A and B are shown apart, each in its own frame.
Chain A
Amino acid sequence: AQTVTQSQPEMSVQEAETVTLSCTYDTSESNYYLFWYKQPPSRQMILVIRQEAYKQQNATENRFSVNFQKAAKSFSLKISDSQLGDTAMYFCAFMKHEAVSGGGADGLTFGKGTHLIIQP
Chain B
Amino acid sequence: ETGVTQTPRHLVMGMTNKKSLKCEQHLGHNAMYWYKQSAKKPLELMFVYNFKEQTENNSVPSRFSPECPNSSHLFLHLHTLQPEDSALYLCASSRGPVGYEQYFGPGTRLTVT
* Set of chain A residues within 8 Å of B98, measured between Cβ atoms: 95-99, 105-106
Residue from A43, A98, A104 in contact with B88 in the complex, judged by beta carbons closer than 8 Å: A43
Name A102-120 residues within 8 Å CB distance of B: 103-113
Q: A44-B104, A44-B106 are in contact. Are A110 and B43 (CB under 8 A)?
A: yes
Count of A-B contacts judged by CB separation below 8 Å: 83
In which size bucket is the chain A interface?
20 to 34
Residue from B41, B42, B102 in contact with A4 in the complex, judged by beta carbons closer than 8 Å: B42
Residue from B1, B31, B104, B109 in contact with A105 in the complex, judged by beta carbons closer than 8 Å: B31
Nearest to B40 among chain A residues (CB) is A112
Query: When chains A and B are docked, how far (Å) is the Cα of A86 from the Cα of B39?
Result: 21
User: Which of B11-19, B20-28, B48-56, B72-80 forms contacts with chain A?
Assistant: B48-56
Nearest to B54 among chain A residues (CB) is A104
Query: When chains A and B are docked, how far (Å) is the Cα of A113 from the Cα of B109?
Result: 19
Whether A97 lies near B99 (C-beta < 8 A) is yes
* Set of chain B residues within 8 Å of A43, measured between Cβ atoms: 88, 106-107, 109
Whether A106 lies near B42 (C-beta < 8 A) is no
Chain B residues proximal to chain A, CB less than 8 Å: 1, 31, 33, 35, 40-43, 45, 48-50, 53, 55-56, 58, 88, 90, 92, 94, 96-99, 101-104, 106-107, 109
